[in-house]
Amino acid sequence: MTDIPDDSLLQPEYDWTGYGFDTRQIHAGEYADTVAGARIPPIALTAGYRFESWDDGRERFAGESDGLIYSRQRNPSGSVAERRIASLEGGAEAIVVASGQAAITAALFALTRSGERFVSTASIYSGTRILFGRSFARMGIGVDYVWNPLDDEEWERQIGPDTKAIFTETIPNPKNDIVDIDHVAAVAARHRLPLVVDNTIATPYLVRPAEHGAAVVVHSSTKFLSGHGAAISGTIVDAGTFDWAGAPRPYPLITEPPVPGGRSLLERFGRTAYARAAREAVVNDLGPALSPFTSFLLHQGIETLSLRMERHLDNAATIAAWLEQHPNVESVDYAGLPSSVQRPLAERLYGGRTGSVFAVTVRGGEAGARRFTDRLRVFSRMTNIGDVRSMALHPATTTHASFDGELQERLGITPGLIRLSIGTESVGDLLADLDRALA
Ligand SMILES: Cc1ncc(COP(=O)(O)O)c(C=O)c1O
C-alpha cells in the first residue's frame, strides 16, 4: 500500500510472521550486524545519520528515500524494540518513546486537538488520570469518564459529536477490575471511534487488544515488557485496522495533506498512516525520543516475557488466594479469584489469571496498612509495577494522595488498601514475608 519502501538497512534479518510467541519475543525485529556479525543487535548510539550526498539528504527529508534522518524520529535500536512489540501485539507498526506517559500523550494527541474530547473508563492508572485532568485540560482536550464500562447508556451519554477516541486499560491499575474489552470495542465500533487500549499489565502474552478491535495499543514498557525495572519507556502500537477514511469524525493529521496539494499520510502509507502521524507529527515535534541504550534494555527484556509472565501469574494466583483466607485481611481485589464477581470474565479473557498487580485491604485501616507495609522485607516499598521484584504501595498516601476523599472513595482507594505487584521470587519467600507483615 505504501509507495515508500521500508528502510533497507533495518530490514529484519528474517520475517518471523507465523512463528510462535516465544520465538518472536526473541527474534522479531532483529537485524544483521554487517560490521562484526554481532549476534545481539548493537546499540546504535547516534543522534543522526550521514547523508550519502546532497540529493540523498533532500530525498530523506522529502520522504522520497528510506534513509534515517535523526534519532528523535527513528533509531535502529528503537526499531528492534518497535518491531518486536508490533509482532507480539499483532500490530502494523510500533513507536517507542521515553515513558508510558509519553506514549499515552502521543497516542491521543495524534487523534485529538484543542476543543475536542475523548471518553475513558474511570478505573485507570492514577498518573494517567492526573495527565488527563491537568496537562490535557491545559491543552484544551477534555476527558469524560465512564464508571461502568458494561453500561451502554452511560457510554451513550458520554459520547458526543466532538468525542474523538475511547481509552481504557485491559487490567486496571491498581484494582484489577478487568475490563470487558469486547464490550468496549463494540461501543467504539458502533460509533466508529478509534479505541486506544493501555495493555501494560496484561501484556500481549495475556491479551492482544488489536485482536479484539483496538485501533491503538499503548504500554508503559517500563513494566512487564522490560521486566528489569532498570529504565523507563513507553510504546504505541498501530493495529493498522482502523478505517480512517470512513470515520464520521475528522482525523486531519492522518487524512489531510500536510501541505496544500500534497498527499495525506493515509494516501501515502495506508494501514500505517496513524503510526506515521504519531511518529512524525507528534513524537518528533514534542521530542520524547527513547534513548538507544534504553531501547536495547527494552528489547533484551522482551526476550523473556513469556517465561517471566508464567511465574508472575502463578505467584499472583497463589498469593491472592492465600491472602483472601488470612484473618488479618479484609478483602482482595483480584478478578481471577473464584469468589470474584468478575471470575467468569477473567476465565473468558485470561483463563482465570488476571495479571500480577492487584490490591489487598488489610484490617485496621491506615494504621494497619502502615504496620503491614513497614514490616515487609522481600517486598519493596516503592512505586512501580511489573518487574521481577515484588513491590507494595499504599495508594491513598502516595499515587492517589492528590485526589480528594470523594474521588478516592469512588475509585475504591480506601485507607487500608495496598497495591501489590507480585514478582518472580520463590513464592514461599513471598508468602512468608506477607505472613510476617500481617501477623
Ligand atoms: C497502567 C499504566 N499505564 C501507564 C503508566 C505510565 O508509565 P510510565 O511510568 O512508564 O510513564 C503506568 C505507570 O505506572 C501504568 O501502571
| 280 lies in the same domain as 223 | yes
Residue 119 has pLDDT above 90, yes or no: yes
Of 302, 324, 339, which one is at a domain's C-terminal end? 302
Q: Compute the average pLDDT of residues 383-412.
A: 97
Q: Percentage of the chain with pLDDT > 70? A: 97
| 182 lies in the same domain as 79 | yes
As a whole number, the mean pLDDT across the chain is 96
Q: What is the CATH number of the domain that holds 115?
A: 3.40.640.10
DSSP reduced 3-state for 360: strand
| 241 lies in the same domain as 103 | yes
DSSP reduced 3-state for 99: coil
| 78 lies in the same domain as 180 | yes
Q: Is residue 92 part of a domain?
A: yes
| 322 lies in the same domain as 292 | no
Of 255, 277, 302, which one is at a domain's C-terminal end? 302
Phi and psi torsions of 407, nearest 5°:
-70, -40
Span from the CA of 125 to the centroid of ligand 1 (angstroms): 7
Span from the CA of 207 to the centroid of ligand 1 (angstroms): 18
| 281 lies in the same domain as 178 | yes
Pairing of strands 417-421, 357-362: antiparallel
Containing structural domain, residue 288: 72-302
Say how far apart CA 379 and CA 302 lie, in whole Å. Answer: 23
| 244 lies in the same domain as 374 | no
Q: What is the CATH number of the domain that holds 348?
A: 3.90.1150.10
Partner residues linked to 205 by β-bridges:
none
| 144 lies in the same domain as 249 | yes
Q: What is the DSSP letter of 280?
A: I
pLDDT tens, residue by residue, 228-254? 999 999 999 999 999 999 999 999 999
pLDDT tens, residue by residue, 8-46? 444 555 689 899 999 999 999 998 888 899 999 999 999
Measured from the CA of 223, which atom of ligand 1 is nearest?
Answer: 10
The residues lining ligand 1, judged by C-beta closer than 6 Å to any ligand atom, are 99-101, 125, 127-128, 169, 173, 198, 200-201, 220, 222, 232, 234, 385
Q: Which amino acid is at 5?
A: P
Say how far apart CA 118 and CA 132 lie, in whole Å. Answer: 10
Span from the CA of 190 to the centroid of ligand 1 (angstroms): 29
Nearest CA to ligand 1 atom 6: 100
Q: Is residue 203 part of a domain?
A: yes
Q: Compute the average pLDDT of residues 260-288.
A: 96
Nearest CA to ligand 1 atom 10: 100
| In the block, residue with C-alpha cell 525520543 | 289
Q: Is residue 268 part of a domain?
A: yes
Q: Is residue 368 part of a domain?
A: yes
The number of domains in the chain is 2
pLDDT of residue 161: 97
| 311 lies in the same domain as 224 | no
| 316 lies in the same domain as 237 | no
Nearest CA to ligand 1 atom 12: 220
| 287 lies in the same domain as 349 | no
Span from the CA of 220 to the centroid of ligand 1 (angstroms): 5
pLDDT of residue 12: 53
Contact at 8 Å (CB) between 421 and 306? no
Q: Is residue 30 part of a domain?
A: no
Q: Is residue 418 part of a domain?
A: yes
Q: Compute the average pLDDT of residues 49-53.
A: 97
Q: Is residue 143 part of a domain?
A: yes
Of 275, 302, 329, which one is at a domain's C-terminal end? 302
Q: Is residue 277 part of a domain?
A: yes
| 257 lies in the same domain as 314 | no
pLDDT of residue 32: 85
